[in-house]
């Protein structure tokens, strides 16, 4: 039996409604699924209600974007060669969606997105692309507006052939139109997840952009001092050797391990359950959560 602990819905930047995911997961042969939309819990009520009907184990979650600068805090900054900063995302599992601090964090991140997205559109315009923010909002359908929605407009207008190309050329961390939105510290993100009775897990460690095993260990150890509970060892971006070394690091640092597809529906070519994460991963996560809340 398998589970998928990293999925997205139309509440953020996926293409499937939150209420559709449980049945889709069951049809894919999964026994448990987590909904971890970017910076929002808006889809969780619908998701959990549908999971009861589908009779599949469900994990209410979230994926928070945080400032990766803390991972380079011990390095000497150079004006000529500043440290390369990847992306730092933290997954929250078994959260209480209405927790006050988590609600504050979501409002904070919505404001960050509201400032960042028009800036990226402006940069695309400077590069000669005829794209307008209202077109992106229409694609998003009134939900969280993110870079994949901008990428979809770029595809529709023929500027790129795929979302992957949109990110690699324009919207990714080294793209021509990229604008960083990280305004939440890792400590704040972990605190918000814990305040919501959740478990805080480092998502897709490869996206930290760290160049060596020692740098990664230092970064994860630093996050653990802030309360990190686990790390995502299985992910669609991970090569099998990545999964192996991340699992060894998690064992060394006494962290939980999780895994998932990072499913976004038709926006990415990733199928639900494609990572073949054993159901025991979900069960270990559930037991750790019960211990945390004293259940």
State both tokens at 216.
Answer: 């990664």
Edge-first strand order for the sheet with 256-259 is 256-259, 230-234, 199-202, 88-93, 57-66, 30-35, 2-4, 277-278
- The answer to the question of residue 6 being in a domain is yes
CB atoms within 10 A of CB 114: 11
Q: What is the pLDDT of residue 182?
A: 62
> How confident is residue 76, by pLDDT bands cut at 50, 70 and 90?
very low
- Cα(199)–Cα(235) distance, integer angstroms: 18
Q: Average the pLDDT over 84-90 and give the result.
A: 81
pTM: 0.85
- The answer to the question of residue 80 being in a domain is yes
- The answer to the question of residue 187 being in a domain is yes
218-265 pLDDT, tens digit each: 999 999 999 999 999 999 989 899 999 999 999 999 999 999 999 999
What domain count does the chain have? 1
- The answer to the question of residue 192 being in a domain is yes
- Beta-carbon contacts of residue 167 (< 8 Å; ≥ 6 apart): 147, 151, 175
Task: Tell me which residue range forms the domain holding 44.
Answer: 2-103+183-293
- The answer to the question of residue 111 being in a domain is no
- The answer to the question of residue 240 being in a domain is yes
- The answer to the question of residue 122 being in a domain is no
- Cα(234)–Cα(236) distance, integer angstroms: 7
- Residue with the larger pLDDT of the pair 13 and 142: 13
CB atoms within 10 A of CB 245: 17
Q: What is the pLDDT of residue 295?
A: 61
Backbone torsions φ then ψ of 193, nearest 5 degrees: -65, -45
CATH of the domain at 187: 3.20.20.140
Cα 119 off chain centre by: 22
Question: 291 to each of 78, 226, 240, how far by Cα in Å?
Answer: 44, 19, 31
Residue recorded with tokens 């049809």: 27
- The answer to the question of residue 116 being in a domain is no
> How confident is residue 145, by pLDDT bands cut at 50, 70 and 90?
confident
> How confident is residue 79, by pLDDT bands cut at 50, 70 and 90?
very low
């Amino acid at each position: 039996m398998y589970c998928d602990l990293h999925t997205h819905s139309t509440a953020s930047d996926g293409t499937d409604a939150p209420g559709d995911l449980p049945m889709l997961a069951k049809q894919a042969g999964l026994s448990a699924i987590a909904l971890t939309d970017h910076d929002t819990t808006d889809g969780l009520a619908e998701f959990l209600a549908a999971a009861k009907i589908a009779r599949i184990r469900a994990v209410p979650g979230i994926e928070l974007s945080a400032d990766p600068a803390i991972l380079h805090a011990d390095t000497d900054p150079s004006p000529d060669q500043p440290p390369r900063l990847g992306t730092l995302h933290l997954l929250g599992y078994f959260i209480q969606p209405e927790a006050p601090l988590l609600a504050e964090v979501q409002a904070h991140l919505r404001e960050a997105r509201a400032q960042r997205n028009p800036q990226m559109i402006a940069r695309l315009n400077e590069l000669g692309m005829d794209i307008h923010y209202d077109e992106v909002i229409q694609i998003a359908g009134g939900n969280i507006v993110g870079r994949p929605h901008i990428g979809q407009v770029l595809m529709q207008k023929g500027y790129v052939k795929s979302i992957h190309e949109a990110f690699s050329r324009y919207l990714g961390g080294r793209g021509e139109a990229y604008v960083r939105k990280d305004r939440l510290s890792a400590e704040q993100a972990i605190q918000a997840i814990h305040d919501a009775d959740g478990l805080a897990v480092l998502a897709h460690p490869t996206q930290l952009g760290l160049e060596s095993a020692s740098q990664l260990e230092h970064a994860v150890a630093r996050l653990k001092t802030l309360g990190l509970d686990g790390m995502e060892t299985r992910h669609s971006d991970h090569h099998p050797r990545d999964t192996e070394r991340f699992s060894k690091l998690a064992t060394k640092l006494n962290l939980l391990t999780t895994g998932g597809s990072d499913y976004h529906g038709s926006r990415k070519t990733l199928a639900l359950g494609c990572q073949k994460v054993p159901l025991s991963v979900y069960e270990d996560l559930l037991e750790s959560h019960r211990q945390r809340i004293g259940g």
